Amino acid sequence: MIGTTLLRGVGTDVAGTRDSLVQRVTHFEGLKTNARLPLHIKCKKGRRRGDMRATNPSLRVEATIETNPGLNGGLPPSAKTVTLESVANNSATPLSPNSAKRHADENIRDEARRQGLANPPNTFSAKYVPFCPGIETDEEYSIDEVVYRSKSGALLDVQHDMAALKKFDGAYWRDLFDSRVGKTTWPYGSGVWSKKEWVLPEIDDDDIVSVFEGNSNLFWAERFGKEIVGMSDLWVKHCGISHTGSFKDLGMTVLVSQVNRLRRLGKPLLGVGCASTGDTSAALSAYCAAAGIPAIVFLPANRISIAQLVQPIANGALVLSMDTDFDGCMRLIKEVTTELPIYLANSLNSLRLEGQKTAAIEILQQFDWEVPDWVIVPGGNLGNIYAFYKGFQMCKELGLVDKMPRLVCAQAANANPLYRAYIDGYESFKPVTALPTFASAIQIGDPVSIDRAIYALQNSDGIVEEASEEEIMDVCAQADSRGMFTCPHTGVALTALLKLRKRNIIKPSDRTVVVSTAHGLKFTQSKVAYHSSELPDISSRFANPPVQVGADFSSVMEVLKQKLSLQ
Ligand SMILES: Cc1ncc(COP(=O)(O)O)c(C=O)c1O
Ligand SMILES: N[C@@H](CCOP(=O)(O)O)C(=O)O
């Protein structure tokens, strides 16, 4: 032991056990040395029983530092040496109040670097493996390869080094993730990158393209729960309150960041492309524009909303509008991306799901790591239901929680290939020609992630439900009139809830989360038509049309008396 020093400094978690913490500490004012020493830091601030751990990476902590270069101080194997800079004396020196503040001439990436928060020593890794549950294989690919399918044509999955992650217990991960919420620290201010170790652990923070997505609200749907489904514990995870108005931002930050990295490494990628029903293209275009990377989007002509169409146009993407449906666009983008060095951004690319899975982790985090009974997700190309499964499953396997919620995947009856397979006991799967649906973003007949979805549902005691067009529009109107502003896909999920409540499969007191996948403002045309009772074959039972009234006092009073039942 060469010395014990009481210091105040800024540090970030590198590794820890229940009663000790290893931090990377680079900023102690007044210290001057270039010695590289393993540090064992015991923090006096802790948040859990017997847990002497500072949980906030940017928190100033009072730390006792025991340095032991010879014996490594009993550190966990992943602990790294830390460079102490500026050692002038070896006495306790308080951090000046301003030293954690950003200098006028630095940006938040520089700030994170100065504070020692950027690219902390990393012992985690991930790779692509074939998605073939239960089948042993040595086939694997680096995340830096451009590959979407296995040799046998199976989907791929991102596999994390679970043994490395398991060196830290559930409490460690819970506290680490909790410590990052609500900050602007690069890149952890993002709900996705706050889980970086579980997403893309090896990417350089400088390559990350993020608009601090995620951290979306999970709200209590009090009136809808009580009045429509007789439930007291109904919640909506609003992934549509997001930069481009849908959950796609969660996956796209990961995918575009990786493309950014590949281009920096010299891979000749011309741009990034996708087929889309409107939300993937919006997210891709925005992230590519933020990074200065060309985006190419294939859209089915006249099948997406105006609000969705204008997004890639405004973001400067190359927009190809095609006289086919989404499945047709998907077939074409797959062909094109094998011919040209254009990186594929659809969820066939398993990188996307690594970002999307963080919404599941967030739900647990928002419930203070209590597991809900049910989570209901609308499904189209079926990547998201697997992403939710994966997020919940990782939390269970790594000890953050002790069980999984039951998953429900909800489809529009006009585009229901998964529902049909479910009814058939998953004996067979047949693609369908998807018919138009108000839930236009899930008008998909040949979902690329069908295998992932079936696996997720089978392993979460899952259920598949479907919703007719009238059910979708009616439930949206019922939800909206109780304070929501739902997109039709959320209507599909709410219909599934309604049906499962009617059959008493979901019980009145079951804690249930409905995932709202897009913002209702993207889908106003059908709402306007519903409330004007202009939709063919739909009775618009809950329409609330505007009242045309003369612009004079007596006409207004007459209407008010009648509508408000006044005498
Ligand atoms: C708004 C919205 N909800 C739900 C989905 C379904 O997600 P997934 O394709 O991952 O099943 C999509 C896209 O497909 C979507 O854009
Ligand atoms: N709803 C999606 C359809 C494509 O899904 P993806 O997750 O495979 O990109 C869209 O908005 O395009």
What ipTM did this prediction achieve?
A: 0.99
Whether residue 479 is predicted with pLDDT greater than 50 in this model: the reply is yes
Report the distance separating Cα 55 and Cα 79, nearest Å. 17
Top mutation candidate among 325, 489, 515 for ligand 1, by most atoms within 8 Å of CB: 489
Whether residue 326 is predicted with pLDDT greater than 80 in this model: the reply is yes
Cβ-contact 322, 299 below 8 angstroms:
yes
Asked which of 97-101, 205-209, 411-415 is least confident by mean pLDDT, the reply is 97-101
CA 192 to chain centre: 6
pTM of the model as a whole? 0.85
Confidence at 224, pLDDT banded by 50, 70, 90: very high
Asked which of 8-17, 261-270, 357-366, 530-539 is least confident by mean pLDDT, the reply is 8-17
Amino acid at 108: I
What spacing in Å lies between the alpha carbon of 89 and ligand 1's midpoint?
Answer: 59
Selected residue with higher pLDDT from 46 and 187: 187
CA 400 to chain centre: 18
What spacing in Å lies between the alpha carbon of 131 and ligand 2's midpoint?
Answer: 20
* Nearest Cα to Cα of residue 153 among 282, 334, 346: 334
Confidence at 100, pLDDT banded by 50, 70, 90: low
What residues flank ligand 2, with Cβ below 6 Å? 274, 276-281, 346-347, 380-381, 383, 441
Which distant-in-sequence residues (6+ apart) come within 8 Å of 533 by Cβ?
539, 540, 543, 545
Q: What is the pLDDT of residue 503?
A: 98
Half-sphere exposure of 526 (CA within 13 A, CB side): 27
Q: What is the pLDDT of residue 359?
A: 98
Distance (Å) of CA 290 to CA 248, 252, 269, 296 = 15, 12, 17, 15
Peptide bond into 546 cis (omega under 30): no
Nearest Cα residue to atom 9 of ligand 1 = 381
Q: Position of tokens 């992934």?
A: 239
Report the distance separating Cα 179 and Cα 189, nearest Å. 10
Selected residue with higher pLDDT from 541 and 60: 541
What residues flank ligand 1, with Cβ below 6 Å? 246, 277, 279, 347, 378-384, 441-442, 487, 489, 517-518
**Residue 260, helix vs strand vs coil:** helix
Q: Average pLDDT in the 535-550 region?
A: 98
| Helix, strand, coil % in the chain, rounded to nearest 5 | 35, 20, 45
Confidence at 118, pLDDT banded by 50, 70, 90: confident
Q: DSSP alpha helices (H): ranges in 20-169?
A: 108-114, 162-165
Sign of CA dihedral 334, 335, 338, 340: negative
Confidence at 340, pLDDT banded by 50, 70, 90: very high
Cβ-contact 88, 30 below 8 angstroms:
yes
Report the distance separating Cα 395 and Cα 308, nearest Å. 33
Amino acid at 443: Q
Amino acid at 381: N
Cβ-contact 55, 179 below 8 angstroms:
yes
Dig out the tokens for 68 from the structure: 């032991």
Cβ-contact 89, 30 below 8 angstroms:
yes
Selected residue with higher pLDDT from 59 and 325: 325
State the closest ligand 2 atom to the C-alpha of 444, by its place in the atom list counted from 1.
Answer: 3
Residue 224 per-residue DSSP state = I
